Amino acid sequence: MAPNVKLNELRAELDSLTYPATREDVLAEFDDVVLRYADGEERLGDVVGRVTEDVFVSPDDLEAALYNNLPTEAVGEPGQSEGDG
């Protein structure tokens, strides 16, 4: 069974990589990881497949590239905000 990681726990996983890291490095390390979203789940390898960058110089760089390629359902309801109340 593939390891499951909540989206808010992804950074800890990314910190374990040695940087700079290539897309191939990321896939080799995390392809079998399943990201658990607010509404569903997806293999991290599928998200990496949508990223256009080939090299990531830091965990921040990789995290930004991944977050830019997440589906809308990954973070909850459209238009939902932590500050609304």
Where are the domains positioned within the chain?
A: 4-75
- Single pTM value for the model: 0.82
Model confidence at 73: pLDDT above 60: yes
Res 79 pLDDT > 70: no
More confident residue, 42 or 79: 42
Would you state the structure tokens that stand for residue 70, as one six-digit string? 């997440």
pLDDT of residue 84: 45
SS (H, E, C) 8-71: HHHHHHHCCCCCCEEHHHHHHHHCCCEEEECCEEEEHHHHHHHCCCCEECCHHHHHHHHHCCCC
Predicted local distance difference test score (pLDDT) of residue 72: 79
The whole-angstrom separation of Cα 14 and Cα 71 is 19
Per-residue pLDDT reduced to its tens digit, 22-72:
999 999 999 899 999 888 899 999 999 999 999 999 999 999 999 999 987
Say which amino acid occupies 33. V
